[in-house]
Structure 1
Amino acid sequence: MWSWFGGAAAQKRKDAPKNAILALREQLDMLQKREKHLENQMAEQEAVAKKNVASNKNAAKAALRRKKVHEKNFEQTQSQVAQLEQQIYAIEAANINHETLNAMKMAGTAMEKIHNGMTIDKVDETMYVFIPLAIYLQISNRTRDKLREQAALNEEIAQVIANNPLGEQPDEDELDEELEGLEQEAMDERMLNTGTVPVADQLNRLPAPTNAERKPALLRICA
Structure 2
Amino acid sequence: MEALAMDTSRKRTRLRNAFSGKKEDDPSPEEAIQKLRETEKILIKKQEFLEQKIQQELQTAKKHGTKNKRAALQALRRKKRLEQQLAQTDGTLSTLELQREAIENATTNAEVLRTMGLAARAMSKAHQDMDINKVDELMSDITEQQEIAQQISDAISQPVGFGDSVDEDELLEELEELEQEKLNEELLNMGEDEEAALDKLPDVPSTHLPTSPASKADEEEELKQLVNWVS
TM superposition score normalised by structure 1: 0.47
* Structure exhibiting the larger radius of gyration computed from Cα positions: 2
TM superposition score normalised by structure 2: 0.45
